[in-house]
Amino acid sequence: MALLLGLIGCNPAVDSNGDRAESAPAATDGYPITVQVCDQPVRFESRPERAITHDVNITELFLALDLGHLLVGYSGVHADKELAPEYRAQLANVPRLSPRGMDLEAIVGTGADFVFAGWNYGFRPGSGVTPEALEKFGIRSYILTESCIRVGPRERVSLEDTFLDLLNLGRIFQVSARAEALVADYRRGLAELAENLHDIDHRPRVFVYDSGETTPLTAGRFAMPNAMIEVAGGVNIFNDVGSSWVPVNWEDVIERDPELIVIVDYDRPDAAGKKAFLMQKPELAEVSAIRHQRFVVLAYAEATPGPRNVARTRTLAQALHPERFR
C-alpha cells in the first residue's frame, strides 16, 4: 500500500488525495451518462481517456470498437490466449502490464482512468483488484455482463449480453454509431442462422470440455457456450448446473452421452492433446461423440464473451446440423 500511495504522489493523473487531476480537458459533450452494470447504475461524468483491458476476449471487444488509441495497458493476453489477427495492429504499441493476472500497482502507475474486466476475468473478490479498489484511485470500471453471475443472481446468459456490453461501451466512449453497426451485423447473422435451423426436430447433446483430467471443467447454464449451443440448435448436457464454468464428474458425462464435444483450446495441453486424452480415456469409449469422433474446437476468445461468438455459433450449428448448410 505504501508503494501505491507513492504512485498516487507521482502519478500526474491522480492528486495527493487520490482524486483525479485535470491534466487535460476531458470530453464532456453528451455527459453525464449512466449505464447499468451488474444491475447497478454506473455514472460517467466524461469520456475516459486512459483505458486498460484484461483478458483476450474483453480486449477484443474493446478493439472491435476501434478504441485501441485510448489503451495505456492490457493484461491477461499471452501465448495460450492469442489475439485475433485483425486486432493486433491496434495493440502493437500498448504495454502489456501482466501476462495473466491483474496488478493494482501497475494499473495505478499508468495513470489509467478506466478498466474493463469481469468477475473471474481479472476481478476477484478479496484479490485486491476489484472495481471498489480501483475507485479509491479515481479509476472507473466496466464489468463484463456475462460475469455478473459471480456476484449476483441472473435468469440466463445470452449472446445479447455481449451486445449490451458493446452498446454500453459505445455510449461511454462516444462511439455509439460503431457499436450499433456491429450489433446490427451480429443480429443479422443470428437471424440468418435461425432461418437455417427453422423447425429442427432434434437437438444434439453437447459436452463442453475446457480442461481437467481427474475432474473435467465444463460450461454450466451461465457460461457463454451454453447460449451459443442453444442458438446453434443443440443442448448443453450440463445446462441444469446453475453456474458458469464449473467442475463436474466423468460419470455424469458418460451418463448424459454427448453427441458432440466442444474442446476449448487454451493452456496446456492444446486442443490436440485434449482430444487425444478424451479418445484414450477407457471410460469414455462408448460415448457417442467419442465413437463417432465428433469434435469442434473453439479458441478461448471464441468460447468467452467477445466479438467472435456469432461466427463460432454458426460453426457449431454447421457441426450439429450439417444438412441445413449444404
How confident is the model over 165-204, as pLDDT tens digits?
Answer: 999 999 999 999 999 999 999 999 999 999 999 999 999 9
pLDDT of residue 122: 93
Strands 245-247 and 217-219: antiparallel
- Looking at the chain, the whole-number percentage of residues with pLDDT higher than 70 is 91
DSSP code of residue 228: H
Where does the pLDDT of residue 27 fall: very low under 50, low under 70, confident under 90, or very high at 90 and above? low
Where does the pLDDT of residue 150 fall: very low under 50, low under 70, confident under 90, or very high at 90 and above? confident
- The mean predicted confidence, pLDDT, of the chain is 91
Residue 23 scores a pLDDT above 50: no
pLDDT of residue 267: 84
Please report, to the nearest 10 degrees, the dihedral formed by the alpha carbons of residues 321, 193, 226, 304 taken in order. 120
Residue 8 scores a pLDDT above 70: no
pLDDT of residue 233: 98
230 three-state secondary structure: helix
pLDDT by residue (tens digit) across 71-117? Answer: 999 999 987 688 999 999 999 999 999 888 898 999 999 999 999 99
- Least confident interval from 77-81, 234-238, 271-275: 77-81
Better pLDDT: 16 or 255: 255
Q: Which three cell numbers stand for residue 277?
A: 486424452
Query: Beta partners for 205?
Result: 235
Q: How far apart (Å, rounded) are the C-alpha atoms in residues 231 and 235? A: 9
**Average pLDDT score over residue span 160-169:** 98
Q: How far apart (Å, rounded) are the C-alpha atoms in residues 95 and 88? A: 13
Q: How far apart (Å, rounded) are the C-alpha atoms in residues 274 and 262? A: 11
Q: How far apart (Å, rounded) are the C-alpha atoms in residues 49 and 192? A: 37
Query: Domains in the chain, ordered, with CATH?
Result: 2-185 (3.40.50.1980), 199-325 (3.40.50.1980)
pLDDT by residue (tens digit) across 300-324? Answer: 999 999 999 999 999 999 999 999 9
What percent of the residues of the chain are helix, what percent strand, and what percent coil, each to the nearest 5?
A: 40, 20, 40
Q: Which of 139, 172, 145, 166 is nearest to 44 (CA)?
A: 172
Residue 31 burial by Cβ neighbours in a 10 Å radius (0-12, 13-18, 19+): middle
Where does the pLDDT of residue 9 fall: very low under 50, low under 70, confident under 90, or very high at 90 and above? very low
pLDDT by residue (tens digit) across 204-224? Answer: 999 999 999 999 999 999 999
pLDDT of residue 69: 97
User: At a CB cut-off of 8 Å and minimum separation 6, what does 47 contact?
Assistant: 26, 27, 28, 31, 172, 173, 174
Q: Which three cell numbers stand for residue 286?
A: 462408448
Strands 71-75 and 51-54: parallel
- Looking at the chain, the whole-number percentage of residues with pLDDT higher than 90 is 82
CB 211 within 8 A of CB 217: yes
pLDDT of residue 82: 83
